[in-house]
Structure 1
Amino acid sequence: MAIEKWVAAASLGLFAMFVAQMISICVYLSNPSHDIDASSQIKEFISISVAPALVLAGSSFILARRYGSRLSGSLLISGGVITILGMYYIGTMIPKIVPAYVVPELTFSPIVFSATSIPVIVIGAMLFRVKPKPQRDYFFDR
Structure 2
Amino acid sequence: MALEKYMAIAGLALSIFFVAEVLTLFNFMIDPADNDSFGFEAAPKLFQFISLSIAPAGIMMGVSFFLSKRYGSRFNGMLIILSGVIVLVGMLYANTMLEDLKPELVDFATEITPVLFMGVSIPIIIVGARLLKTRPRNPKKSFLDDSDYS
Alignment length (residue pairs): 139
Tell me how far 1:77 sits from its aligned partner: 0.2
Q: Normalization by structure 2: what TM-score?
A: 0.88
Q: Map 1:39-118 onto structure 2 (within 5 A).
A: 39-118=43-122
Structure (1 or 2) with the larger CA radius of gyration: 2
Which residue identity lines up with residue 123 of structure 1 in the other structure?
V
Q: Shift in Å at residue 134 of structure 1?
A: 4.1
Q: Which residue of 1 aligns with 2:16?
A: 16
CA distance in 2, matches of 1:68, 1:40: 39
CA distance in 2, matches of 1:13, 1:103: 28
Q: 1:74 offset after TM fit, Å? A: 0.2
For structure 2, the 5+ residue unaligned runs are: 146-150
SS in 2 for 1:132: coil
Shift of 1:62: 0.4
Give the Cα–Cα distance (whole angstroms) in 1 for the partners of residues 103 and 73 of structure 2.
Answer: 46
After the TM superposition, which segments of 4 or more aligned residues of structure 1 sit over 2 Å from their partners?
133-136
Which residue among 111, 124, 127 is the counterpart of 1:123?
127
Deviations 1:81-127 (A, max 9, x none): 00000000000001110001111111101111111111111110011
Identical amino acids, percent of aligned pairs: 38
Q: Output the aligned Cα RMSD.
A: 1.6
